[in-house]
Chains A and B, each alone.
Chain A
Amino acid sequence: MTKLKTSFQNLSCLSIGKLLIASALLLSAQVSANSAPSAQDQEAQERPPALIDPNVERREIDESDIDTENFEIGVFGGFISIEDFESDAVVGATIAYHVNENFFLEAAYAQTTAGQTSFEKLSGGAPFLTDEERDYRYYNLSLGYNINGESFFTDTLVFNSDFYFTVGAGSTEFGGDERFTVSVGAGYRLLFTDFWALRIDVRDHVFNSDIIGVEKDVHNLAFTLSTTFFF
């Protein structure tokens, strides 16, 4: 809008200026034809009306105007293998804050629906869980460490990338309960541009469960692909 306005103003300024010059020339020609030019008229000729005001107000640009891109937001999809309950598609979202070039903090939330245990399938008996209890949701807060690098696909096709490790904790809601969950993982981030990346993650979610009767630590491995944006 501002640009349009300014260009319009410039345009009108220019045409007005041209008109002014033209009329001034015409007037002076008439004046010179009628009588000898006075000193005042000469001065006026030498100093045409100012077309552009030289005292342009400069917008103060300072450090706070620099675009900062420390946050990374993304969505992911993939598979999670839920111990005793088959593998299922999982979808989720992440938001990360990059503290420095190596460390980042990340919050993730995801959900899926667990399948049936082998026992349920083979025996054909009563299911362990209701449909609602099969909803599997988890969140975690992780600390990540980037190992920065570059990926050379060909001699000329090079992207910045990093390999990272994450350690975190959170909670898993499954089987009618919420369980404290520890998650550890590793991933690869390929930056197509400064602000757009593709990520591949492998993360293990460990929690203590007694859903199938005996209490044990269960390991739920998730393989996900995500696209993220820095802002």
Chain B
Amino acid sequence: MKLHFNFVVLLVLTWASCFSFSAKADELVVTIVEPYIDFRTGPASEYPIFHVAEQGEAITILKKRTGWYKARTEKGEEGWVSAEQLGKTTKPSGEVLYVPTGTFEDYGNRNFEFSVFGGVLESVTSLSVGTSWKWTDNLIAEATFAQALGNFSENILWSARLQHHTFPEWKLSPYLTIGAGQIRTRPRSNLVQSGDEVRKSDMYEVGAGLRYYFARNVVVKLEYRNIVALTDRDDQERLEEIKLGFAVFF
């Protein structure tokens, strides 16, 4: 038991030493090139400037929150510096520090995207989320999940889709989608006499959308999709959905 305890202590100590070492090694020190840099008390432009670091001073970058970087001066003063100001400092190698300030170029280099939509699916309010991965400049793979809660039924739709962006370099860019998934419908409890009557059916969808690069890492999206649900009945069900939402990319 004691051996076990010792082992745990040793493990914790090793881990702690490892951690402190790596934390120190990962710190990035940059040199100020511009006449000065403002240090604020918080990560937003509303916070007051309490310190000014001068040209030639070396500052250590500690962490990042949205467009703000926490930095420490050689004297130990800690504050928040804007991405715009930090983007004019140099690394020990002499290169200018690359700071993503939410330019259109960053948008082109995105990998993942997370979107949220509000819309109407056959006159029922729908809410959907999606994650997408940029495969090539033109092709994007996406997984979506939607919930449409109406007065007569609750619908859950999920699909795997492929988007094609014909003009990815445009700020306002149209795209086409094609996908397959499943739709699950449950009638309202007050309409069913006994038990839940959940219907599940496969579905295919085609659609078109328009996306607009808004600012920083935000994109506004408008989308239409036409869904064919392969029901157990004789007729196939056609559903239309139009939705508006936004996405953040990483």
Q: Which residues of A contact B (CB under 8 A)?
A: 1-4, 59, 61-63, 65-70, 97-102, 105, 141, 146, 148-150, 160, 169-171, 175-180, 194, 208, 210, 230
Q: Is B159 positioned at the interface, with any CB of A under 8 Å from its CB?
A: no
Q: Is B189 positioned at the interface, with any CB of A under 8 Å from its CB?
A: yes
Neighbour of B69 across the interface among A2, A66, A175, A208, CB < 8 A? A66
Q: How far is the CA of A35 from the CA of B205 in the complex (A)?
A: 97
Q: Do B127 and A169 touch (CB < 8 A)?
A: yes
B41-49, B136-144, B166-174: which lies at the interface: B41-49
Q: Add 5 more A-B contacts to A66-B64, A148-B44 (CB < 8 A).
A: A67-B62, A100-B66, A171-B127, A177-B188, A210-B190
Residues B3-38 near A (CB distance < 8 A): 14, 17-18, 20-22, 25-28
Q: Do B46 and A148 touch (CB < 8 A)?
A: yes
Residue numbers in B under 8 Å from A102 (CB-CB): 44
Q: Is B134 positioned at the interface, with any CB of A under 8 Å from its CB?
A: no
Q: Do A99 and B42 touch (CB < 8 A)?
A: no
Q: How far is the CA of A171 from the CA of B148 in the complex (A)?
A: 9
Q: Is B220 positioned at the interface, with any CB of A under 8 Å from its CB?
A: no
Q: How far is the CA of A160 from the CA of B28 in the complex (A)?
A: 25
Interface size on B, residues (CB 8 A): 48
Q: Is B97 positioned at the interface, with any CB of A under 8 Å from its CB?
A: yes
Q: Do B217 and A3 touch (CB < 8 A)?
A: no
Q: How far is the CA of A153 from the CA of B192 in the complex (A)?
A: 57
Q: Do B26 and A65 touch (CB < 8 A)?
A: yes
Neighbour of B216 across the interface among A100, A160, A171, CB < 8 A? A100
Q: How far is the CA of A63 from the CA of B27 in the complex (A)?
A: 10
Q: How far is the CA of A133 from the CA of B132 in the complex (A)?
A: 36
Q: Is B147 positioned at the interface, with any CB of A under 8 Å from its CB?
A: yes
Residue of A nearest to B248 (CB): A99
- Contact indicator per residue, chain B 63-81, by CB within 8 Å of chain A (1) or not (0): 1111111100000000000
Task: Jot down 28 A-B pairs with beta carbons below 8 A, ordered by A.
Answer: A1-B17, A3-B21, A62-B28, A63-B98, A65-B28, A67-B62, A68-B64, A69-B65, A70-B66, A98-B65, A98-B66, A99-B218, A101-B45, A102-B44, A105-B116, A141-B116, A148-B44, A148-B46, A150-B42, A160-B47, A169-B118, A177-B154, A177-B188, A177-B189, A178-B147, A178-B154, A194-B63, A194-B65
Residue of B nearest to A159 (CB): B42
Q: How far is the CA of A63 from the CA of B90 in the complex (A)?
A: 11
Residue numbers in A under 8 Å from B44 (CB-CB): 101-102, 146, 148
Question: How many residue pairs at the A-B interface have CB separations less than 8 Å?
Answer: 106
Q: Is B149 positioned at the interface, with any CB of A under 8 Å from its CB?
A: yes
Residue of A nearest to B22 (CB): A2
Residue numbers in A under 8 Å from B63 (CB-CB): 66-69, 194
Q: Do A180 and B66 touch (CB < 8 A)?
A: no
Neighbour of A178 across the interface among B98, B116, B118, B149, CB < 8 A? B149
Q: Do B66 and A101 touch (CB < 8 A)?
A: yes
Residue of B nearest to A7 (CB): B17
Residue numbers in B under 8 Å from A65 (CB-CB): 26, 28
Q: How far is the CA of A65 from the CA of B43 in the complex (A)?
A: 19
Residue numbers in A under 8 Å from B149 (CB-CB): 171, 178-180
Residue numbers in B under 8 Å from A99 (CB-CB): 66, 216-218, 248
Give the shortest distance, in Å, between A178 (CB) and chain B (any CB). 5
Given contacts A66-B63, A67-B62, contact A180 B189 (CB under 8 A): no
Give the shortest distance, in Å, between A3 (CB) and chain B (any CB). 4
- Contact indicator per residue, chain B 101-122, by CB within 8 Å of chain A (1) or not (0): 0000000000000101010000
Give the shortest distance, in Å, between B227 (CB) and chain A (any CB). 19
Q: Which 6 A-B pairs have the closest CB atoms?
A: A176-B189, A101-B44, A3-B21, A180-B149, A148-B44, A67-B63
Give the shortest distance, in Å, between A58 (CB) and chain B (any CB). 8
Q: Is B162 positioned at the interface, with any CB of A under 8 Å from its CB?
A: no
Give the shortest distance, in Å, between B141 (CB) and chain A (any CB). 21
Give the shortest distance, in Å, between A139 (CB) and chain B (any CB). 9
Residue numbers in A under 8 Å from B66 (CB-CB): 70, 98-101
Q: Do B67 and A61 touch (CB < 8 A)?
A: no
Residue of A nearest to B29 (CB): A61
The CB with the most chain B CB atoms within 10 A, among A100, A149, A150, is that of A100
Give the shortest distance, in Å, between B63 (CB) and chain A (any CB). 4
